[in-house]
Structure 1
Amino acid sequence: PGHWEAWLREPVRFDEALAEAAAEPAAVIEMGAHPVMAAAVRAAFGSRLIAYACTMRRGEPGAFVRSQRAALPGFAAGLEAALRGLSVSLPRRGAFVLDYDADFAVQ
């Protein structure tokens, strides 16, 4: 709860994080219910943005989202091949996967 409370009361400093990330060419995947950060990401990265993708869009039917999820293993394999040889360190604390199969859960 403290983390979310801080987000409500304190600046998020997203622009600073984007500026630091945009120092190098990158591909960006926005995880969320709608690509609300697309314009900010594209503006920050400019020509250094290799690719931008979002995971969902408001109003997409559940069948479409499920078809996109079905394609994820192939995407993951391609991403792994593209990143092979790079040193990437991601925190694993508290990570979990939510697996919903109801239309309302993917909207």
Structure 2
Amino acid sequence: MNLINEEVLNTMIQEQLQSIIDEQLKQPVWWTLDDLVKNERIGGETVVTDMLNYPPYKKELQNDIVHYPETRRSPYLIHAKRMKEWLDKNFEKVNSQRKLWRVKR
């Protein structure tokens, strides 16, 4: 005896997957500093700038994840997906080393 209609179940799964895909496609590929602050809630712009410029992190992030400004007026460009992955992977390290990389007060 089969209590679940397989076709209905497959339709529900497909709808859920499509919803997830659609939501992901709405997400920007590149973030600015403001986007990073807003989406990841690490702290304000000063805190995020300090973190991005902390030499050990900068070495990891440079080029593949973060494109650093070449001039004072140039923006940071941050690859959103890669940055999220890096923050997830390095959460404990970033959190425990916060006092080391906080430069500006």
TM-score norm. by structure 1 comes to 0.23
* Higher share of residues assigned helix: 2
Taking CA–CA contacts closer than 8 Å with sequence separation of 6 or more, which of the two structures ends up with the larger relative contact order?
2
**Of the two, which has the highest radius of gyration?**
2
TM-score norm. by structure 2 comes to 0.23
